Amino acid sequence: MCRNQASPAARNSLKRVPGSRISHPGTKQVIKTRICVDCGRLLTKAANALRQHETDIQVGLRLNLAGDLTEELRQKLAPDAVKSFNAARAAWDTYCRHLDGHGLLEPALRGKTPD
């Protein structure tokens, strides 16, 4: 799954993180996953952007369930939901490109969003 295709300079900048060894059940194969400081920063940024989008959507859902979502309110809330979605997507794409730079994404996963 994970291949280290990073350049020699990039490989030297990668740091081992305790517990970052992945073993697959039923095999004795262990894959060493190397990450850098930016991996965590970009993941946090993507996760925070997704949480903001969830918050924006939850406001509309709660109002709708309570029967208080008017067309006027929907029109006020929609731009924030779209903006936060676009921010979350951009942050996720940036994180994926970064992981791809380390050679950590399988070709089939490049450019895909989580289900």
Q: Where are the domains of the chain?
A: 1-35, 37-101
What phi and psi, each to the nearest 5 degrees, are found at residue 32? Answer: -90, 125
Q: pLDDT tier at 36 (50, 70, 90 boundaries)?
A: confident
Identity (one letter) of the amino acid at 33? Answer: T
pLDDT at 25: 62
Q: What angle do CA 13, 105, 98 make, to 5 degrees?
A: 45
pLDDT at 19 over 90: no
Work out the mean pLDDT of the chain and round it to a whole number.
79
d(CA 31, CA 21): 6
CB 34 within 8 Å of CB 4? yes
d(CA 110, CA 25): 25
Q: Write out the two tokens for 81.
A: 């939901």
- Predicted TM-score (pTM) of the model is 0.64
Percent residues over pLDDT 70 in the chain: 63
The model's pLDDT over 51-86, given as tens digits with 9 standing for 90+, comes to 999 999 999 999 999 999 999 999 999 999 999 999
pLDDT at 111: 58
